[in-house]
Amino acid sequence: MERYASAAELVAARKPERPVVCARPHAAARAARWFIDNFPGDVAYAYKANSSVFLIGALFGAGIRHFDVASLPEIEDAATIPGAHLHFMHPVKSREAINRAYHEHGIRSFSLDTEDELKKILEETRGPEGVARDLVLFVRIVVPAINSRIPLERKFGTTGQKAARLLVKARQVAAELGITFHVGSQTMTPDAYVNALAEVQRLIGKAGVVVDRLDVGGGFPSIYPGMQPAPLKRFIAAIEEGVNKLPVRENVRLMCEPGRALVAEAETLIVRVEARRGNDLFINDGGYGVLFDAAHLGWIYPARLIGRVAAKADALIPYELWGPTCDSIDHMKGPFLLPSCVKEGDYLEIGNVGAYGRAIAGDFNGYGKYEEAILDDEPMMTMYGDAAEAQALLG
């Protein structure tokens, strides 16, 4: 893997024909160290966000040992990490996946949100001596989505009397009982966790069970144009305050599952402009590739012209981007602010695409082939480091 000081240096050296996914492992390591230093429990990386070996290696090197996995392929990949603790946190799992996770890969930690799923887990983890006695079972509950850019409460989770009954049944068979929830991806303010933990408190009271573990899930934000979330320390403070009110074991073990917050800043995308039509730029990656969220969720990423310097008279103007496929939904409305002088053959850097971009990219129309490189400079926008710390203090 070739290494460059910056995207501009890469473009000058390679003039790439294909789009280039560039990793900044130091950014992932910095984010991981921040969570390990500030979160009062286990930090489990959400593997689905990005499984690049360069970023996983950086997270591991920074001290991450827990991983939230959601499928058998993710388990098989993550199981190669030395000393990894895997948590199978998808609430709906195939019987084969449960069986192999437990018997082949030594996973003991599972989430569930129905009595049917509990029954599957008990049946597939059974051994010669009968029901497994070492299960760590997390009941996933529904919590309200408050100020999250991608709400996630509609597909999974249980609530009310069903949740209380499931907690009681899981308590009867679990070596350790946990509760988990997800406040929604890119949650902008910590009050989402305040409300979620209040719901946890109500359900524990309703069920009357002893809880050994609490997983506050993911949802921790990153930073993008037009999305300046509250400082991360406020999220941690809100979680600690909410946990202190819960009727749980004094030594309850906490866990969180950051994905976006750990790797969003750690990758950037270099694309080439193939055509300009007014303020529409046609580029060689798009909504079927790394820029899926920009096309389908209206996500706006930081963007800049690289490879040549714009004149001072070239003001920043709003552009819309179009991907390389023949499909008209391959469109990133933006606006992406770039110099007015952008033309065919120019290269653009689109930053902070490390969360879910690489993971979702496909090869529709024969595209989706990327070159790769490592960059040593800073992300285009950051939640961490001296500048971000100063911002947090001011905010």
- Would you say residue 67 lies in a domain? no
pLDDT at 206: 95
In angstroms, the Cα distances linking 143 to 88, 177, 183, 196, 286 are 20, 19, 6, 5, 33
- Would you say residue 311 lies in a domain? yes
Q: What is the DSSP string of 20-74?
A: EEEE-HHHHHHHHHHHHHHSSSEEEEEGGG---HHHHHHHHHHT--EEEE-SHHH
pLDDT at 134: 97
CATH of the domain at 101: 3.20.20.10
Please compute the mean of the pLDDT values over residues 78-100 and round it to a whole number. 97
- Would you say residue 300 lies in a domain? yes
Question: How far out from the chain centre does Cα 257 lie?
Answer: 8
Looking at per-residue confidence, does 30 or 248 come out higher?
Answer: 30
Average pLDDT, the chain: 93
Per-residue model confidence as pLDDT tens digits over 297-324 = 999 999 999 988 887 778 999 999 999 9
**The pair of three-digit structure tokens given for residue 110, joined into one six-digit string:** 């599972």
Q: Could you tell me if 179 and 274 lie in one domain?
A: no
* pLDDT above 60: residue 387: no
- Would you say residue 206 lies in a domain? yes
Phi, psi angles (nearest 5°) of residue 382 = -145, 150
Q: Could you tell me if 275 and 233 lie in one domain?
A: no
Looking at per-residue confidence, does 312 or 394 come out higher?
Answer: 312
pLDDT at 148: 72
- Would you say residue 13 lies in a domain? yes
390 pLDDT tier (thresholds 50, 70, 90):
very low
Residue where a domain stops, chosen among 216, 239, 256:
256
pLDDT at 152: 66
393 pLDDT tier (thresholds 50, 70, 90):
very low
State percent of the chain over pLDDT 70.
97
392 pLDDT tier (thresholds 50, 70, 90):
very low
Residue where a domain stops, chosen among 214, 235, 256:
256
Q: Is the pTM of this model over 0.75?
A: yes
Q: Could you tell me if 102 and 247 lie in one domain?
A: yes
pLDDT at 386: 64
185 pLDDT tier (thresholds 50, 70, 90):
confident
Please compute the mean of the pLDDT values over residues 362-378 and round it to a whole number. 94
Q: Could you tell me if 133 and 205 lie in one domain?
A: yes
Cβ atoms of 131 and 122 closer than 8 Å: yes
Query: Is the omega angle on the peptide bond into residue 335 within 30 degrees of 0, that is, cis?
Result: yes
pLDDT at 388: 59
pLDDT at 17: 96
Cβ atoms of 303 and 316 closer than 8 Å: no
271 pLDDT tier (thresholds 50, 70, 90):
very high
Residue where a domain stops, chosen among 256, 286, 311:
256
* pLDDT above 60: residue 112: yes
Per-residue model confidence as pLDDT tens digits over 40-56 = 999 999 999 999 999 99
Beta bridge partners of 150: 185
Please compute the mean of the pLDDT values over residues 267-274 and round it to a whole number. 98
- Which residues, including other chains, have CB under 8 Å from residue 70's CB and lie 6 or more apart? 47, 48, 88, 89, 90
CATH of the domain at 275: 2.40.37.10
* pLDDT above 80: residue 395: no
- Would you say residue 40 lies in a domain? no
Q: Could you tell me if 185 and 292 lie in one domain?
A: no
Q: Could you tell me if 207 and 282 lie in one domain?
A: no
Q: Could you tell me if 127 and 219 lie in one domain?
A: yes
Q: Could you tell me if 229 and 119 lie in one domain?
A: yes
pLDDT at 149: 76
Q: Could you tell me if 111 and 239 lie in one domain?
A: yes
Q: Could you tell me if 137 and 177 lie in one domain?
A: yes
Please compute the mean of the pLDDT values over residues 201-222 and round it to a whole number. 95
Q: What is the DSSP string of 97-162?
A: HHHHHHHTT---EEEESSHHHHHHHHHHT-BTTBS-S--EEEEEB-----SEEE--TTTS-B-HHH
- Would you say residue 334 lies in a domain? yes
153 pLDDT tier (thresholds 50, 70, 90):
low
Structural domain total, the chain:
2
The number of residues making up the chain comes to 395
| Euclidean distance between CA atoms 166 and 159, whole angstroms | 10
- Which residues, including other chains, have CB under 8 Å from residue 250's CB and lie 6 or more apart? none
Please compute the mean of the pLDDT values over residues 201-217 and round it to a whole number. 95
Q: Could you tell me if 216 and 284 lie in one domain?
A: no
Please compute the mean of the pLDDT values over residues 256-262 and round it to a whole number. 97
Q: Could you tell me if 247 and 268 lie in one domain?
A: no
Range of the domain at 362: 3-22+264-375
- Would you say residue 124 lies in a domain? yes
